Amino acid sequence: MTEERKRATERRNDVAEGRDAVDTIIDQWRAERPDLDLAAMGTFGRLGRLALLLSPAMEEVFVQHGLRRGEFDVLAALRRSGPPYTLIPSALSKTLMLSRAGMTNRLDRLEAAGLVERRLDPADRRSFQVALTEHGHEVVDAAVTDHAANETRLLAPLTPAERETLDHALRMLLRTVSD
């Protein structure tokens, strides 16, 4: 049997046994370093692989609406802020966990595309506000509709109970690392 056929057979057996590529990596580390507790490595390995594998499927939706992921994030933050769909740049930066320089670049691109506009802040003339334009409102509404449907499709292999368990576990982990 060729090496390639042997690996293909092993992959089929792993799938049948519920194993994945991360299990193989953990097995290799266990053989080399049996002294280590590798359970967390498996969890983080799966989270990382999942993010890498799902990212292109999610990006595709944004591209269909002429957006990059980061631009969608800005528009979505403005849209969900409620009428008048206006925030100051520092609030956007904080919400999106983005540097002010990164925010400026995104805002420049969105403003050039006619999706947002910058206005002087009536409460502080030294500052400005970012407002969603009518066109921006239309684009983000269409994009978020498609994005929500895409995410539902991507999570379809999980039962509602599995999704609830996953959400609970991730919520707990996020709470501990963000404090």
Tokens of 165: 């368990």
Rounded CA-CA distance 90/171 in Å is 25
5: pLDDT strictly greater than 70: no
Distance between terminal CA atoms of the chain?
Answer: 54
> CA triplet 43, 46, 50: central angle to 5 degrees?
140
Rounded CA-CA distance 41/43 in Å is 5
pLDDT of residue 61: 96
pLDDT band of 127, cuts 50, 70, 90: confident
> What is the side-by-side strand order in the sheet with 124-132?
86-87, 124-132, 116-121
98: pLDDT strictly greater than 60: yes
pLDDT of residue 11: 55
Entry pTM: 0.80
Mean pLDDT on 136-141 = 98
Q: Which residue would you say has higher pLDDT here, 11 or 175?
A: 175
14: pLDDT strictly greater than 70: no
3-state secondary structure of 56: helix
Lowest mean pLDDT among 21-35, 62-76, 87-101, 147-161: 87-101
pLDDT band of 6, cuts 50, 70, 90: low
Domains of the chain: 1-36 (no CATH), 41-179 (1.10.10.10)
**Cβ atoms within 10 Å, residue 114:** 12
pLDDT band of 10, cuts 50, 70, 90: low
Rounded CA-CA distance 75/139 in Å is 9
81: pLDDT strictly greater than 80: yes
117: pLDDT strictly greater than 70: yes
